[in-house]
Amino acid sequence: MSIGLVQDPIFQEHDPGAYHCESPRRLEVMAEALAIWPGRENSLTLPLRSAKEDELLRVHTPAHLARIAATAGRATSLDPDTGTSPRSHEVALLAAGSLIDLCDAALRHEVSGGMALVRPPGHHATPERAMGFCLFNNIAVAAAHLLERRGLKRVLIVDWDVHHGNGTEDIFFRNKNVFYFSTHQSPLYPGTGPLAAVGSGEGEGFNLNVPLMAGQGDRVYLRVFEDLMLPVARRFQPEFILVSAGFDAHQDDPLGGMQLTDAGFAGMAAVLKELSDEFCPGKLVMTLEGGYNPAAQARSVLAVLDAMSNGFAEADQTRRESRETPPPAIIKRGLEIMGKYWRGLAG
């Protein structure tokens, strides 16, 4: 079965300003790489669709939707980091709606998972605020659709962007039907995401942050994924896995301070593919978040797509090598904290 893709030149029409790192160039380079990717013949590009108001209102306030709609046709600055151009509102609607449709295609077994290569990104957008380059929280909109429209009860969101997805966490912090797992550099923008934030109310125990010091690479990330994320996620038993796939933890990225390689990203994708095969075959869908070295991002995306489809030998080698690295202390602390909510976990 084909892997699904959301990709179109229209996502280059969002331009937050000259010299902004979240630039159309990110997807220009991506398109060039995809054009010669050997796996392209086994992929299916889905048509685009704009998100409807009721779909966005599941996670955003009416005031937020009105504020973003008011930017249509003009360039604006929503905060010091987040700008729009005349077509940004239109493009943001397409990003959110097309991700929903990619998830639905996976549910209908029309594709075996996939990736939405869309802009603007989404995981910093809160219910009432655009921030951190993000207008609508694409992944939260998709998760809410799966819960409320498709009747799923357990959606896992994995966020490996170098920045914590504060907006996604805010939206689902009290929700037991979404487990949010994030690895991120700390300290770093937006300054959120401590290990102690585990959710609240019915959602207590369904939020797991893994803040990491700068300088961590493939081996540490893969130990965290295999020794912490995987055992917790297996107890959650996801019916669908969504990934905020930011590539700004790459060693060549200008905004982050991490040392992940293309193979490291592929290794994390391979772990998630195994989890998906175990609990929800074909229901692993990723959406693009950060990644500000276009060439490094393009290489990493292709490595991830290979890991999701036919496998990627370098990812397997990187995973084997990670076993030679002592587990970081945060794994034990994370297991101890989650052990209060999930049986059978031990630090």
Residue 268 has pLDDT above 90, yes or no: yes
Q: What is the pLDDT of residue 32?
A: 98
Euclidean distance between CA atoms 176 and 36, whole angstroms? 42
Place of tokens 């079965």: 1
pLDDT confidence of 22, banded at 50, 70, 90? very high
User: For the ranges 147-161, 165-179, 279-293, 333-347, which has the lowest average pLDDT?
Assistant: 333-347
Q: Give the start-to-end residue ranges of the domains of the chain.
A: 10-338
Q: What is the CA radius of gyration of the chain?
A: 18
Please confirm, yes or no, whether 64 is among the known catalytic residues.
no
CATH architecture of 10-338: 3-Layer(aba) Sandwich (3.40)
Check whether 146 has a pLDDT greater than 60: yes
Query: What is the structure's pLDDT at 344?
Result: 83
CA 100 distance to own-chain centroid? 14
Averaged pLDDT, 278-290? 98
Q: What is the mean pLDDT of residues 77-81?
A: 94
Q: How far apart are CA 103 and CA 287, in angstroms?
A: 11
pLDDT value, residue 346: 66
| pLDDT tens-digit map of 40-54 | 999 999 999 999 999
pLDDT the model gives residue 24: 97
Least confident of 162-166, 185-189, 227-231, 342-346: 342-346
pTM above 0.95, yes or no: yes
Name the residue with tokens 């994030």: 182
Angle, in degrees to the nearest 10, between helices 88-107 and 62-69:
130
What is the per-residue pLDDT across 317-344, written as a single tens digit (0 to 9) for each? 888 888 888 899 999 999 999 999 998 8
pLDDT band at 313 (very low <50, low <70, confident <90, very high): confident
List the catalytic residue out of 89, 123, 124, 163. 124
Q: What is the mean pLDDT of residues 283-300?
A: 98
Q: Indicate the average pLDDT of the chain.
A: 96
Q: What is the DSSP string of 103-129?
A: HHHHHTTSSSSEEE--SS--TT--SS-
User: How confident is residue 30, by pLDDT bands cut at 50, 70 and 90?
Assistant: very high
3-state secondary structure 62-73: HHHHHHHHCCCC
163 φ, ψ (degrees, to nearest 5): -100, 145
Backbone angles phi, psi at 181, to 5 degrees: -125, 125
